[in-house]
Amino acid sequence: MQAIRSILVVMEADQPEGLALKRAKLISSVTQSHLHLLICDKKNDHSVFLDSLSASLQQEGHSVSSQQAWHESLHQTIIAIQQAEGCGLVVKRHLPDSPVKKALLTPDDWKILRFCPCPVLMVKTDKPWAGGTILAAVDVGNADSEHRTLHASIISHAYEIAALAKADLHVIAAHPSPMLSAADPVFQLKETIEERYREQCKSFQAEYELSDEQLHIEEGPADVLIPQTAHKLGAAVTVIGTVGRTGLSGALIGNTAEVVLDTLESDVLVLKPDDIIAHLEELVAQR
Average pLDDT, stretch 6-35?
A: 90
Determine contact, residues 39/74, Cβ cutoff 8 Å: no
pLDDT tens, position by position, 135-165: 999 888 776 777 788 888 899 999 999 998 9
Span 183-224, pLDDT tens digits: 555 555 556 667 777 788 888 889 889 999 999 988 888 889
With CA atoms as reference, report the closest residue to 278 among 118, 150, 154: 118
What is the C-alpha separation between 88 and 118, in angstroms, rounded? 6
Dump pLDDT digits (tens) for 30-46: 889 999 999 999 889 99
Q: pTM of the entire structure?
A: 0.87
pLDDT (tens digit, 9 = 90+) per residue, 225-279? 999 999 999 999 999 987 655 444 333 344 678 788 889 999 999 998 766 666 6
Q: How many CB atoms lie within 10 A of CB 185?
A: 8
The span from the CA of 214 to the CA of 137, in Å, is 12
- Domains of the chain (ranges; CATH) run 6-93 (3.40.50.620), 133-285 (3.40.50.12370)
